[in-house]
Amino acid sequence: MATTTAPRATGDAGLASRRRRADSRRGTTVTGTGTLVRFMLRRDRVKLPLWIGGLGLYIIYIGAALPQLAPDEAGLAGAAILFDSPIGRMWVGPAFGMDAVTYERFFAGGYALYLYLLAALMNILLIARHTRAEEQTGRSEVLRANVVGRHAPLTAALIVAGIANAATALIVTGLAIGNGYAAEGSALVGVTMGLTGLAWAAITAVTVQLSTTSRTAAGLSGAALGVAFMVRALGDMLAVGGSALSWASPLGWGQQTAPYVYDRWWPLLLLVALTAACVPAAYALQSRRDFGAGMLAVRGGRVDAAPSLGTPFGLAARLLRGSIIGWGSVIALFGLIDGAFAQAML
């Protein structure tokens, strides 16, 4: 009898051990993150290289175009006057170093802001695509039928964003140095670009918890980017080098590093702090909401549809109404500001 019960006891113990290990794996909220990272990188094997390559080509283009604009750096002085005006500062930034302009200062003063904007946009779309869009379409539910933790998709998306931003920072830094710009200032532009992208990845990680659709989540994050641009624009218009209002914008933090002029690294700590605040908030919100739901309640629709929705044009107008009003308002506002300061350009 002893010879028959011992194997069974051993088998029962082995089965219990395997069950405990399986339960432990299921209980980990980030289980499967590594697999999802590889899956996301494979899905984005075309999109991310195009984004990063496009940003790199932008650097190469600027390096080639500036000597065509002005054969020597002294010839940039006329163009720098526009950047130094209130309307110029609204569009490009605080105009550091425009009183003694060089190619590299002209690059940082006139074009770096739009590199930061593009990096933020890349991250908004990346996070929304790999998190809320997956829940919205039901693909995330299929994944979670396997051994995948609750926070694994969000964690994987943030890791992919980190990889993309690190690659972008390195490429931008290398290409700027290749243009003949100073190494420290080039590194500062690249790192600022990467940290700005990470900050908006973290902001989007929060907005995807608020909304039930990826379009709304990306729209909320994009609205935050628009507000940041507007606050920075108004702050930079007030004074050369920016004003106190400029420091209320994450985009302003990046520009206050003043690459190739002062090379200040410490404002980047504000971007790190913003990212560090938003990421835990995103996880906390995800833990509080149901799968597929958002923290913001969905407004109930009308019982009867309007007759205009029966036509393709009417349906498209209804779906895009919010975007049209939002973008139209922003364009009109900047048009009014441009008109108010048009005299400064003459």
pLDDT of residue 25: 47
Q: Where are the domains of the chain?
A: 32-299, 307-346
pLDDT of residue 167: 97
pLDDT of residue 5: 46
Burial of 147 (0-12, 13-18, 19+ CB in 10 A): middle
Cα–Cα distance for residue pair 66/14, rounded to 1 Å: 71
Question: What Å distances lie between residue 194 and 115, 173, 188, 339, CA to CA?
Answer: 10, 10, 10, 34
Residues 6+ apart with CB under 8 A from 15: none
pLDDT of residue 338: 65
Tokens of 253: 């933090």
Residue-by-residue pLDDT tens, the chain, 346 positions: 444 444 444 455 554 455 455 444 455 888 888 889 999 999 999 999 999 999 999 999 999 998 888 888 778 887 788 888 888 888 888 989 888 889 999 999 989 999 999 999 999 999 999 998 888 887 777 777 777 778 889 999 999 999 999 999 999 999 999 999 999 999 999 999 999 999 999 999 999 998 888 888 898 999 999 999 999 999 998 888 889 999 999 999 999 999 999 999 999 999 999 999 999 999 999 888 877 777 776 666 666 777 777 788 887 887 777 778 877 777 787 677 667 655 655 5
Cα–Cα distance for residue pair 194/208, rounded to 1 Å: 21
